[in-house]
Structure 1
Amino acid sequence: MERTEPESGNGRRVVVIGGGIAGSLASKSLQFDSDVTLIDPKEYFEITWASLRSMVEPSFAERTLINHKKYLQNGRVVTSPAVNITNSEVVTADGLVLGYDYLVIATGHNDVLPKTRQEKLSQYQSEYEKITSSESILIVGGGPSGVELAAEIAVDFPEKKVTLVHNGPRLLEFVGQKAADKAFDWLKTKKVEVLLNQRVDLSSASDGDKNYRTSGGERVHADCYFLCIGKPLSSKWLN
């Protein structure tokens, strides 16, 4: 393992694990008062609430993906996952050992993301092509991501058949009933088919058969699907 120390000599050593909203903001805010090291598996910060828009308009991502080094000019970026911590050090998957006086853990949710900004831009382009080449699209999950993606596709590609399947009794279960009903009614006006209280067996469609079976006995024809379900917290490695 390789032990490293900050070069700026600002005094307090602050290591931030996670380059999402919280981790990036903490790093940016502290960089001129401390020796800041940001540890993140990817080299960029993403404005995540714009990600679904980027799936139907890939050029939009040019403004929402920002390399960490662009805003962290007085700090250090380590592009590798953290795998272990002690009372004074952080160990990364690449074998770096970084000492700290203060540690910020802002790992958010567990998600597999491309390492480079260019790879992420290419991913959005691929998802866009997946949407444009399909006549019918299945969205699994009626939370914020599923509802927004269905809306983005319905607005930009009104000719496509969009079906949203959710295993709960209503959409957006974390908000009030009135807001959930409004989202449901709006999707219906855009001809999005919403199936509630049902699950989808994604393995039920063979290579030549694009019909997916639901737990309610219905069959949904779709040229492609997007899985929009919750992701676990990215803190299991701390156990």
Structure 2
Amino acid sequence: MENPLEWGDGGRGRRVVVIGGGVVGSLIAKSLQFDADLTFIDPKDYFEIPWASLRATVEPLFAERSLIHHKDYLANGRLIVSEVTNITNKEVLTADGHQVTYDYLVVATGHYDHLPVTRIDRLEEYQTENEKIKAAHSILIVGGGPTGVELAAEIAVDFPQKKVTLVHDGSRLLEFIDPKASDKTLEWLKTRMWK
């Protein structure tokens, strides 16, 4: 198979469609935008740094930096904000009626999260979640895996007055890591959450 990064003509005549605006799709689109006739299709108008979402829930201003409009990094390509409804050997069909032909297709859709279409709506979601945290007297988090532990820690740091309860049915927190690290995590949480 031909390597698109080694196209003799720079790939400028090659029609490339990238579907999916997560980490992989956005990186590929950004990387190929000056080397191909690029069309980038995503159901939302922004890229979200996924590992920043829990921090953004606790500190909505952080979301301002972790939600990036696709158009801010895609200077040389077409952006279609729509769902893909069908893919054939030669074209991609979108929910809003676009029929995009391609020579090369990249499907980087990852998993499906029902997220708002616009960056503004996503920022409002973070603000709403933050208001719920602020209004709560106590917070229950179920699950002592990476997400539960991180969320508990984020809340404990930003809202030290909140009573945070972390419920986990395993033998220890973060069971996939070394027991010493797990114990250290538990001790840190105890000093921050259970005074």
Q: TM-score range by the shorter chain?
A: 0.7 to 0.9
Which residue, out of 141, 144, 148, partners 1:139? Answer: 141
1:97 pairs with 2:95? no
Residue matched to 1:118 = 120
More strand by share: 1
1:63 pairs with 2:79? no
TM-fit CA distance, 1:95: 3.0
TM-fit CA distance, 1:35: 1.2
Residue matched to 1:49 = 51
SS of the residue corresponding to residue 190 of structure 1 reads helix
Letter in 1 for 2:60: P
Identify unmatched segments of 5+ residues in structure 2. 1-10
1:158 pairs with 2:160? yes
Residue matched to 2:88 = 86
- Runs (4+) of structure 1 moved beyond 6 Å? none
Give, in whole Å, the separation in 1 of the partners of 2:179 and 2:19.
37
**TM-score, structure 2 normalization:** 0.87
Give, in whole Å, the separation in 2 of the partners of 1:73 and 1:85.
25
SS of the residue corresponding to residue 179 of structure 1 reads helix
TM-fit CA distance, 1:192: 5.2
Residue matched to 2:174 = 172
Residue matched to 1:212 = none
Alpha-carbon distance change, 192 to 108 in structure 1, aligned in 2, over 3 angstroms: farther
Residue matched to 1:39 = 41
More helix by share: 2
Alpha-carbon distance change, 82 to 177 in structure 1, aligned in 2, over 3 angstroms: farther
SS of the residue corresponding to residue 87 of structure 1 reads coil
RMSD: 1.9
Letter in 1 for 2:177: V
TM-fit CA distance, 1:42: 0.7
SS of the residue corresponding to residue 95 of structure 1 reads coil
| Residue pair 1:150, 1:192 contacting (<8 A) in 2 also | no
Give, in whole Å, the separation in 2 of the partners of 1:112 and 1:100.
27
**TM-score, structure 1 normalization:** 0.72
| Residue pair 1:83, 1:92 contacting (<8 A) in 2 also | yes
Q: Structure 1, residues 73-117: CA drift from partner, whole Å, max 9, x if none?
A: 101111112232222222222232221111112112221111111
Give, in whole Å, the separation in 1 of the partners of 2:41 and 2:143.
31
Aligned-residue identity in percent: 68
Q: Structure 1, residues 110-163: CA drift from partner, whole Å, max 9, x if none?
A: 211111111111111111100000011111232222211110101111111111
Give, in whole Å, the separation in 2 of the partners of 1:66 and 1:112.
18
Which residue, out of 72, 75, 94, partners 2:74? Answer: 72
Residue matched to 2:14 = 12
Give, in whole Å, the separation in 1 of the partners of 2:102 and 2:177.
40
Give, in whole Å, the separation in 1 of the partners of 2:178 and 2:148.
17
